[in-house]
Amino acid sequence: MDPLEAESWLVDLKFVFLLGGFDAICYLLSMTPCWAVRTRVQRWQVLLDPGEVRVAQLQNAPEQQDLHRWRLSILESSELGVELVPADCSLRKGGFKGSRDCEVPEVASPQLQVQEDVYHL
């Protein structure tokens, strides 16, 4: 992937940090990429700026102990709405390599229905 194309792709991603939750309700911190830079050792660094906290209802919620897999995720559109995709898997789909293989979660990625509750930091 061309470095300029990769940089543009990275700063257009919609990162979220899963703060926690209970049952099918979770709290997500939106993270806006400020910039992305390629280092001398052919790796990328992305500066994420925290945004607002949103309350979301998971349509197909995994078990509570499995949510750590989605701690840092990227929101992706799907035919069913918006889907939480683990950041490492989403980056690999975009053509980036990692130091370890992306393990496909045993459960499907949670579908989200974001509620109107928004909290500004």
The kind and range of the H/E element at 118 are strand 111-120
**pLDDT score, position 121:** 43
Instruction: Assign 102 a pLDDT band (cuts: 50, 70, 90).
Output: low
**pLDDT score, position 20:** 86
**pLDDT score, position 56:** 86
How far apart are alpha carbons 37 and 78 in whole angstroms?
28
**pLDDT score, position 42:** 86
The strand pairing partners of 78, in sequence order, are 81
Q: Tell me whether residue 99 is exposed, middle or buried, using C-beta atoms within 10 angstroms of its C-beta: 0 to 12, 13 to 18, 19 or more.
A: exposed
- What secondary structure letter does DSSP report for 67? G
The kind and range of the H/E element at 47 are strand 44-58
> For residue 7, is pLDDT > 50?
yes
CB atoms within 10 A of CB 7: 18
Average pLDDT over every residue of 70-91:
86
Instruction: Assign 120 a pLDDT band (cuts: 50, 70, 90).
Output: very low
> For residue 60, is pLDDT > 80?
no
